[in-house]
Amino acid sequence: MMKVTISMIFGALMLACISAYGTLAWAAGDRTAQAASPDSGYRIGDKLAPAKPRTPAGQYEEILWETLLPEGWSVEKELESLNMNELEDNDPKAREVMKKIREMWNQAPTNPKLDNKRVRIPGFVVPLDGEREKTRDFLLVPYFGACVHAPAPPANQIIHMVVKAKSPITVTPSAWISGTIRITRSDTRLGVTGYEMTVDKVEPYKQDTVDTLPI
């Protein structure tokens, strides 16, 4: 059996996005959703390297993106169930398979052990209100470009961030977010999310240390 690779997954999701929104829309991109600044140093698909915080997380449990996946669930298993290795170039069934992938991603199960936990997680910020540096409504995703320059990840890999502050908060392209996470599925204009998190604290991400930004 042909091994499923990350590039295959990314390619499959890209096709799904093109099928759903049209080639022209994909090429133009979402003009209302601002990407990170060109000098951010990240490329599409980049993930954050492990970072050492300046101070202990304290009351928040530090988690990884893998923690959001329920036990026994993986992207590889989901794709293997579709027998993608049996598809050939220009196979008319390909678009049908891509549609199924998108449906599976939107329905991706969450980890029940995380519901109502106070956690801290690093990721990339995707504003939903069109602001690059000040926002009250944004997504946190595991790799750069997700939901903007690349198709949305599975719902269990997207967190919808809720800011209770009256004024918009300052955010950076990559950040540590601390708060209370809940299992709440929502359909945003940039992707279906499996989690919602009430934001208590935002810290700009640095590989060696972090500095806290006030909310």
pLDDT at 48: 84
DSSP line for 98-130: HHHHHHHHHT----GGGTTEEEEEEEEEEESSS
Q: How many domains does the chain have?
A: 2
Task: Please identify every stretch of the chain with a pLDDT value under 50, giving residue numbers as ranges.
Answer: 1-8, 11, 15-38, 55, 209-215
Asked if residue 67 lies in contact with residue 117, where contact means CB atoms within 8 angstroms, the answer is: no
Strand, helix or coil for residue 95: helix
Q: How far is residue 35 from each of residues 15, 38, 62, 145, measured CA to CA in Å? A: 21, 8, 26, 7
Same domain? For 96 and 194 the reply is: no
pLDDT at 90: 64
Strand, helix or coil for residue 19: helix
pLDDT at 207: 62
- Give this prediction's pTM: 0.74
Same domain? For 116 and 136 the reply is: yes
Asked if residue 166 lies in contact with residue 177, where contact means CB atoms within 8 angstroms, the answer is: no
Same domain? For 164 and 95 the reply is: no
Domain edge (last residue) among 107, 129, 164: 107
